[in-house]
Amino acid sequence: MTNKRLNNKNIVITGASSGIGLSIASLCAENGANLVLLARRLDQLEKIKQDLEGRYSVNVQVYKLDVSDTKEVKAVFSKLLGELSTIDVLVNNAGYGIFRAAHEVEMGDVKGMFDVNVVGLIACTTMVLPLMRQQRKGHIINIASQAGKIATPKSSVYSATKHAVLGYTNSLRMELSDFNVSVTAVNPGPIETNFFSIADEEGTYVKSVKRYMLTPDFVARKVVDRMLTKTREINLPRWMNAGSILFALFPGLFERAGKKVLNKK
């Protein structure tokens, strides 16, 4: 896959130390993009920087960032904005989930998921918006989830955060339509990453959906292929998105028919 649009572009990626973020970073570097990689694990980012700069003729900058800390978001983005003349793409990938029944969820986990998945995403986006509006170009890509379209048992809070991400994304897209800035929501189903080491401690959900799980490289290729295009949503896999359409049209029927399967978390 070659995306000539990315050559020499500046791409910022949160949650870039593993999973989808790392796969997106690798593909962007392969296509000639310069990168700013953000994550909590600076040691891992340094290794990625060395690897990507060694394989490709690109510039990779890395910063330690916990997106749930809005003061840290402001400080890090202020620094990188002072060093870059343009930001062409922001990929808001950082996020996590915990699958528990609603009455068992700790309030600390509720706050944590909203702080990372929603507030952190909004904070990072807010920092690049003035520049993208001024330069009248850019692309904001928010990694949401099919959980933002289909709420399921034992993921009430996680689903709520992703519903919030989709609401924010859809509003933002309309706000930026006159500034030539694209806004894309990426809604994948379950992916083979370390996400589930936290979300699904017992492993029951992974066992029930393992044959349907996507690979990070597959999702990353779909995302990178659509960078700097007017793409509203990327829904993966397609058959699962068909389920979200059915849910929107016939929610009661969908919940009754799918209750047994959806309760397998």
Known catalytic residues? 158
13 exposure class (CB count in 10 Å sphere: 0-12, 13-18, 19+): buried
Sequence-ordered strand ranges (E) for 48-167: 60-64, 89-92, 138-143
In our burial notation (b when 16+ CB lie closer than 10 A, e otherwise), range 143-177 reads: bbbbbbbbbbebbbbbbbbbbbbbebbeebbeebe
Q: Is 180 left (phi over 0), alpha (psi -120 to 50) or beta?
A: left
Structure tokens of 64?
């330690």
Three-class SS state of 235: strand
Handedness of CA 17, 19, 20, 24 (dihedral sign): positive
